A and B are shown apart, each in its own frame.
Chain A
Amino acid sequence: MYSLPLNKLDTLFETVGAEKPLYIPADNSSGKADFTRWKKGVKLSKTLKTVRSAKDFFFPKTENLVNYKVDGKKIEIEDPRKELEDFVVFGVRACDAASFTIVDNVYINQTPCDTYYKNRREHSTVITLACTEPVQTCFCKLYGIDAADPKGDVSAWISDDTVYFNANTDKGKNFIAGINALLTKSDDSGVVKQQQETRSRISELPFVNLDISKFTGDNMMKLFNSKVWEDLSHTCLGCGTCTYVCPTCMCFDVRDFDTGNGIKQFRCWDSCMYSDFTKMAAANPRLTQKERFRQRFMHKLVYYPMEHDGVKSCVGCGRCLESCPIHMNIVKVIKTLNETPLEEK
């Protein structure tokens, strides 16, 4: 383990940022925080959570796939790929770091592999930051995530006036080697004390011990046919807020943009909450908001785990609890389904 005085953190950002793009959570003009490209003057936010999750680095909101330039009968194909640049992200929380594995399972560990996503993952160095003051909406512990011991290439802890670093991967070791001049070797006593305090705070949070034993493949059809979906989804606006702030939502659409003298083919985020999601032959097979709403939660709690050794596709970051316009969220869904006996069908 290595340490750095907290007041030297800006020097560290300067050293790293001089070499490659560095992103850190920074406050924006709206009073919230988002990952921001570091430049002189950008300060690390004290906010626990960024509005947008760190998935954006690997799965951006929109991404140009290919450009076609048309000139009479001549068509030129242009490769606009930009994802082959090394970059560093500092300050990723344990929940977001855990979400990368969930998305990797789909985009990297399956064929065909999503090369755009994979390249970005490979070219990134992720430095996580341990949480110290979890809020009421946090429930990462429910999924076995330890916010006091985040993963990533390098883990970091800010305790009193010191920042501690520990490399977890080869990429992480290279990163530490690159900033070695700034660091001093250190024992982990400061970190251990902080971890104990954080863990005891987390165990007091309201949703960390929710019962999710009901959400199994065996119960799939019973859960699917539960009568509660109608009530839960009745006032759902069908917007994409929950999807887009969610670190594990990874659906996209591919579209053509007519530039006037060619086509820009791009992919962009998509949401199963939308009426124009997965248009087949004529329409979205999920005709009403009830079906779309059910799909999102069944996917997170049942379908995804069925295909990935029981791992739920939720990391308990609590962003949906904070952002949903009608305050409907996965915790309310779990609680309601737990309170309602499953019917045979």
Chain B
Amino acid sequence: MQTSEISSRVLARAEELLSCGKVQMVIGWRKGLFDYDITPSLFTTSDDLKKNFVYNEWCGANLSKYLVKETRAIETAKDTVRTNNKMAKMKNPDATDAPEPSAKVLVFLKPCDTYSFTELLKEHRIFRDDVFAVGIPCDGMKDPEKKEISERCTVCKSKKHITYDELIGEDGDVQDSKRFDMVEKIESMSPDKRFAFWQNEFSRCIRCNACRDVCPACTCERCIFDNPKSGASQKVAADDFEESMYHIIRAWHVAGRCTDCGECSRVCPQNIPLHLLNRKFIKDINELYGPYMAGSDMETKPPMLNYQKDDAEPSIIKEAK
């Protein structure tokens, strides 16, 4: 399918679902000032969709994390009505119940976005009933800065949609990706060289937290780095060592849950290849606990949360070699 054809089908479906009342809002992509500066956005009217909705090669932003906020708002609205109804009944047993607001949010998910969506569902961060998910095809997204296909898309892991209610176009397959090549290259460096490599990368960090804030695996109610009571709270850290720790701690926190969507590196204003840290963890997990892909299904237990007697002990394995 041509990009323009996909785009018009996606838009038509959004308008249809909104006007027939199947959904009350749409999370999609909004046109920018130029062709490349697309903003993820909420649409509630057909007019707005017609004028401003867009789906093209610049729509790299993964929309799945926004569902945490949107579906929670829907559930809160329902809870409020339920509570009010209960209280009304306490005053007057004959009071009629106000109808619970029913709202559904339509979201468009590219194949890799469905991995994040599935992982979030698995972690009970999204209320599935409040979402209508439409899987859409993707031929790779462009990097606004370089104006060419992003690195993450050149090593695309899958064109297969995992969780969805409806699909536009044909579903694809899991790809034979070369995404671990760069990890292997870094692994083969001497410890000193590797340390220098990461020191150079982290030295540019401005600690804007964009990597964390965009990450679909980072959905803690209160991140330990934001919580003064955690004992680990920091804005910009006191020194460079602490600063590197932020990235390493974050990589640990998402280990076994990161779907390798690559949003962390996409948003980094300093082009730090943060996804390589996560990929290293994915590669290690694959080697130590057997192949595992976060977000690829709703059933398998994540290796980091699933203790088995024959689990590998990384340090012992290293010594045995």
Q: Which residues of B from 212 to 240 have beta carbons under 8 Å from A?
A: 212-214, 226-228, 233-239
Q: Contact check: which of A231, A241, A321, A331 meets B210 at CB < 8 Å?
A: A241
A245 adjacent to B206 (CB under 8 Å): yes
Q: Check if A297 is an interface residue, CB within 8 A of chain B.
A: no
Q: Check if B112 is an interface residue, CB within 8 A of chain A.
A: no
B210 adjacent to A255 (CB under 8 Å): no
Contacts of A268 in B (CB 8 A): 235-238
Q: Check if B209 is an interface residue, CB within 8 A of chain A.
A: yes
Question: Complex formed: what's the CA distance from A61 to B201 in Å?
Answer: 16
With A31-B271, A237-B214, A269-B207 as known contacts, state yes or no: A274 contacts B226, CB within 8 Å: yes
A61 adjacent to B61 (CB under 8 Å): no
With A32-B270, A240-B207, A241-B208 as known contacts, state yes or no: A62 contacts B226, CB within 8 Å: no
Q: Check if A186 is an interface residue, CB within 8 A of chain B.
A: no
Contacts of B228 in A (CB 8 A): 276, 279
With A239-B208, A269-B236 as known contacts, state yes or no: A325 contacts B266, CB within 8 Å: yes
A327 adjacent to B208 (CB under 8 Å): no
Question: Complex formed: what's the CA distance from A164 to B233 in Å?
Answer: 49
Question: Complex formed: what's the CA distance from A178 to B226 in Å?
Answer: 48
Contacts of B40 in A (CB 8 A): 235, 326
Q: Which residues of B from 103 to 119 have beta carbons under 8 Å from A?
A: none
Question: Complex formed: what's the CA distance from A276 to B230 in Å?
Answer: 13
With A257-B238, A276-B228 as known contacts, state yes or no: A52 contacts B206, CB within 8 Å: yes
Question: Complex formed: what's the CA distance from A151 to B37 in Å?
Answer: 31
Question: Complex formed: what's the CA distance from A113 to B13 in Å?
Answer: 59
Give the interface of A toward B (CB within 8 A).
28-32, 34, 51-52, 61-62, 64, 136, 206-207, 231, 234-235, 237-241, 243-245, 253, 255, 257, 264, 266, 268-271, 274-276, 279, 321-323, 325-328, 331-332, 335
A239 adjacent to B39 (CB under 8 Å): no
Nearest 7 CB-CB pairs, A to B?
A: A268-B236, A325-B267, A30-B271, A257-B238, A327-B37, A239-B210, A237-B213
Name, among B209, B239, B269, the residue most crowded by chain A CB atoms within 10 Å (CB to CB): B269
Q: Contact check: which of B214, B226, B236, B270 meets A275 at CB < 8 Å?
A: B226
Q: Which residue of A lies closest to B234 (CB)?
A: A255
Q: Check if B8 is an interface residue, CB within 8 A of chain A.
A: no
Q: Check if B129 is an interface residue, CB within 8 A of chain A.
A: no
Q: Check if B317 is an interface residue, CB within 8 A of chain A.
A: no
B39 adjacent to A245 (CB under 8 Å): no
A61 adjacent to B39 (CB under 8 Å): no
Contacts of B238 in A (CB 8 A): 62, 64, 255, 257, 264, 266, 268
Q: Check if B32 is an interface residue, CB within 8 A of chain A.
A: yes
Q: Contact check: which of A235, A253, A321 meets B235 at CB < 8 Å?
A: A253
Contacts of A331 in B (CB 8 A): 33
B235 adjacent to A328 (CB under 8 Å): no
Q: Check if B272 is an interface residue, CB within 8 A of chain A.
A: yes
Is the interface on chain B under 10, 10 to 19, 20 to 34, or 35 or more residues? 35 or more
Q: Check if B145 is an interface residue, CB within 8 A of chain A.
A: yes
B39 adjacent to A327 (CB under 8 Å): yes
Contacts of B227 in A (CB 8 A): 276
A62 adjacent to B237 (CB under 8 Å): yes
Contacts of B269 in A (CB 8 A): 51, 241, 244-245, 323
Question: Complex formed: what's the CA distance from A109 to B286 in Å?
Answer: 59
Q: Contact check: which of A61, A235, A322 meets B145 at CB < 8 Å?
A: A322
Q: Contact check: which of B206, B210, B233, B266 meets A61 at CB < 8 Å?
A: B206
Q: Which residue of B lies closest to A243 (CB)?
A: B208
A235 adjacent to B270 (CB under 8 Å): no
Question: Complex formed: what's the CA distance from A323 to B204 in Å?
Answer: 14
Question: Complex formed: what's the CA distance from A180 to B113 in Å?
Answer: 60
A235 adjacent to B213 (CB under 8 Å): no
Question: Complex formed: what's the CA distance from A325 to B40 in Å?
Answer: 10
Contacts of A328 in B (CB 8 A): 39
Residue interface bits B107-146, CB-to-A below 8 A is 1, else 0: 0000000000000000000000000000000000000110
Q: Check if B42 is an interface residue, CB within 8 A of chain A.
A: yes
With A51-B270, A325-B214, A326-B61 as known contacts, state yes or no: A244 contacts B235, CB within 8 Å: no
Q: Contact check: which of A240, A323, A332 meets B209 at CB < 8 Å?
A: A240
Contact sample, A vs B, 11 pairs, CB 8 Å cutoff: A28-B204, A31-B271, A51-B269, A62-B236, A62-B238, A234-B41, A239-B213, A255-B235, A257-B238, A266-B238, A268-B237
Contacts of B145 in A (CB 8 A): 322
CB distance from B25 to the nearest CB of A (A): 10
Question: Complex formed: what's the CA distance from A342 to B37 in Å?
Answer: 27
Q: Check if B162 is an interface residue, CB within 8 A of chain A.
A: no
Q: Which residue of A lies closest to B212 (CB)?
A: A239
Contacts of A327 in B (CB 8 A): 32, 37-39, 144
Contacts of A274 in B (CB 8 A): 209, 226, 235
Question: Complex formed: what's the CA distance from A279 to B233 in Å?
Answer: 13
Q: Contact check: which of B213, B226, B236, B237 meets A276 at CB < 8 Å?
A: B226
A29 adjacent to B200 (CB under 8 Å): yes
With A51-B269, A270-B235 as known contacts, state yes or no: A244 contacts B206, CB within 8 Å: yes
Contacts of B237 in A (CB 8 A): 62, 257, 268
B208 adjacent to A136 (CB under 8 Å): no
Q: Which residue of B lies closest to A29 (CB)?
A: B200
Q: Check if B307 is an interface residue, CB within 8 A of chain A.
A: no
Contacts of A244 in B (CB 8 A): 206-208, 269
CB distance from B205 to the nearest CB of A (A): 9
Question: Complex formed: what's the CA distance from A162 to B192 in Å?
Answer: 43
Contacts of A269 in B (CB 8 A): 206-207, 235-236
Contacts of A335 in B (CB 8 A): 33
CB distance from B235 to the nearest CB of A (A): 5
